[in-house]
A = this chain, B = another copy of it.
Amino acid sequence: MDKKIFEMHAEICKVFTNPKRLEIISLLRDGEKTVNDLTELAGVPQANVSQHLTVLRQNNVVTTRRNGANIYYKIANPKILQACDLMREVLLEKLAENEELVKRML
């Protein structure tokens, strides 16, 4: 029944399992950027940025707009950022917990 939804959900989540893609998403947080912008900001080879952008585009995480030779990428749905933020919070809370644990052991 819901199985199909779980499969699609899992598929989408694969987009977020690569650190470079997460960095790109983060870089797009406050507005659209060109491939070149992203390449420089992330410090990753252009071809690789492009490969990741393809994945993001195919999964409707970003949308594009062409302006001359440049292509601007932006986040398609703000809820995606919210979801990323929540996961990051979970992560940071866990890190904080572990830090306390370490402190208590000294």
Contacts and interface: CB of A to CB of B under 8 A. Distances in A.
A42 to B, nearest CB: 10
Contacts of A91: 5, 8-9, 12
A97 to B, nearest CB: 9
A89 to B, nearest CB: 6
Contacts of A87: 9, 12-13, 80, 83
B86 A90 contact: no
Contact of A86 (B21, B26, B79, B95): B79
Contacts of A20: 6
Contact of A5 (B17, B88, B93): B88
Given A17-B17, A83-B83, A90 B12 contact: yes
B14 A17 contact: yes
